[in-house]
Chain A
Amino acid sequence: MKQKALYILVLAALILSACGGLAGGGGQPSVVRIGWASGPDSLNIGVAWLASAYTISELTYSSMYEFKLDGTLGLDLGTKETASADGLVYTYKIRDGVKFHDGQPLTAKDVAFTYNLVMAHEDFPTLHSYVEHFVSVEAPDASTVVITLDQPIPNIASKLVFLYILPEHIWKDHSEDDAAAAYENLEMIGSGPFKMLEYKPNEFIRLGVNKDYYGAVPKVDEVIFQVFSSSDVLIQALKTGQVDMITSVPNTSVETLKSAENVKVVTGAPLSPDLEDIIFNMVDPANCPTADGGLCTGHPALRDKQVRLAMAYATDKNKIIEIVKLGLATPGIALIPSGMGEWFNIEVKDFEYDPAKGNQLLDEAGYKDANGDGIRDMPDGSRPLTFRMNWPSSDNEAPRIAELLSEMWRELGITLEMQAVESDALTSKCCPALDYDLMIWGWVADPDPNSLLIVPTTDQIPTGYNETGYSNPRYDELFAAQGAELDKDKRIKMAWEMQQLVHDDVAYIIPYYPYAVQAYRTDRFTGWLDTETKLALEDPSSLTIIEPVK
């Protein structure tokens, strides 16, 4: 392969000459290079889906509130929040002298414009849900914003935190009808600590420091987010020093990275906590929503709480965490992840792993192995306890979980037929067809618990989020009440009770809440915030304070 060697040689010479040319260019700017697995889907936050789009928005925009790493929300652009006694009118004072990246001033008019824009656009799928009860937003003067609601909501801060303030002078030309959703917003003019310098979709994003930022001006000159196609490559990039920080580390690589030189691996709760859940189809064919296309083929045994309870007892969550997550997760209880701080009910006591107890429960409930094939049958002997188990094929941890569950539940005399399903098909299988027995799927949380608490409510049954068909009047009652409760402590109490209910009824088995795992190079920048409750090194909280290692 002489040719190859020659090729490399020639290129190396070219590179060297190029580097020589670059070195003469003067003072080195401090550039933080961050590697991640996928860039934002869109710079137009109205239509963006991905967390990475929100990450970039956090850095380039400001919003009324900031989302802190302890899970609480604090005023950011706003300086004062006043609520009317009936909880229907909120008045905000905002900072003076804030400027957009293009030098234009940011006033209350821009805030009102942004909120009205989102209210007018149903085709801003995620953002629009945050303005659900908004009636009007006005800016009586340059520093005052008044929001009027149609019902009191307990969590306005969590609604406003993601409504990044867009410059009216730019967006007003792109606000009508389809134009807003179609606007690519490549300049991404905002008022955050960083401004957009260069965007190569799916390659990299370069952000420069905003020297006019009203808060602490970042100490670095540039932040580069670079996309790497796989996590393996990502880690290699960190190890070889091609990037300074990576936003995710596969669990399997944690051990090696820990032993790598000048690399620190950190874990914590994710900024947006998520969970993996095992879903039971509990819909009785008698109540089947056939009008919506319901098939309701769920196994009858799963409608029996004793069976679900037995399965819960036979589920060794620690083993699942140990094998699938390599210990980097906490056992789950209900639909509110522990990373949600005060909303998470720490008092719920999980079913202790005890397969014998599970077997005993099944024996008591009359599920015997009638034909001696090692698999329990329905009490009437009509069919064996063989359940279909599905999961979205894009989830590469689910098959591992399924295998483990299959093994654990075999001890109960329950067998699984496992099948990955394309997530789109799984959605139709789930709801409204209800054509499954068990599923492994996941949810990702909003800062406010409402979005996850709504899942098992009766209203959501055929076409909403309630995949299980779980229906508990007490739960529904609590859900309605917490949605209008302005006293946070009372609301927390309600949320806790709701978690207890779902847990006791075994509507789900939640194997775990995963940790966020990130890593950075210690020889490049210092000051990363890695000891907070939540871990997000790509958050402005870290990027505005880190400085180069001297």
Chain B
Amino acid sequence: MSLPATMDFLLPDRLDDALDALAARPGTLPVAGGTDVMVRLSRGRERPPAAVDLTRIPCLARWEREAGVVRLGAAVPYTRLADELAGPLPGLAAAARTVGSRQIRNRGTVGGALGTAWAAGDVHPMLLALGAEVELVSARGARRVPVREFYTGPGRTVRAPDELIRAVRVPEAEGPQSYAKAGRRGALVVATCSFAAALWPSRGTVGTGIGGAADTPLPALEAERFVAGELAGRRLWQSLEPLPDGVLTRFGELAAAAVSPADDVRGSAAYRRHAVAVLARRALGWVWDDYRADARAKEETCA
């Protein structure tokens, strides 16, 4: 607990003032809920020259829905995401509910998770499966980056040191979504690995994301191509038949082939590869079964 008292903590209530602070001193650390940042600061793992508080800037704590997209302010905590956006974003709300404990979810944010870019973070797989976009802003201007191009390495992203994550743009659900997480217990647990699946009936695709099984969160691209082809080739969107076991198994194998896991305290590389295959198979089975049930219920209502 003997830390040098040299880090300035700025408390702006305007976004422009936060951006000026980031531009003025490279390496200034943006802080929303602090749930990742404080663990690093308290252990002396990180000592930035300055930090800037994001919890007083009203536009970062808001969300809005427009044209089928939820624009989620970077400082909206998980509790609010889960309580207020479970309708348009059921998968992301479900993933947010598995983060830490209530105390953590009351503070932690999607923007913060993107800033930390920890491969095991719970919201990344679903952001990948949903095709979200990250809004970055600096004193130089603003840009949007697809989340599939956002992560570049362990804890590294395309965010420049003077850029702030302002919001995440997340397409609203048009079908079932599922987040499957493996961990050592049922509550307050870091994912050993995880898998997200989201159905997009209008495009005939299944979006995917894998957590905790490589240097970065990543989509299962081959598995996505495979299942889109099977769903179309077997005319399953029309027939609403169950997915054959062989398709589910192959989907899991292709997901496991996408990962490059490591051995660590939460699990071995071999376990993670196996678990990703199981989670992927289950998540796909769940979203397809839910889709069939929803479609049947709709048919009955119309008849």
- The answer to whether A and B belong to the same complex is no
What is the interface of chain B, defined by CB distance below 8 A to chain A?
none
What is the interface of chain A, defined by CB distance below 8 A to chain B?
none
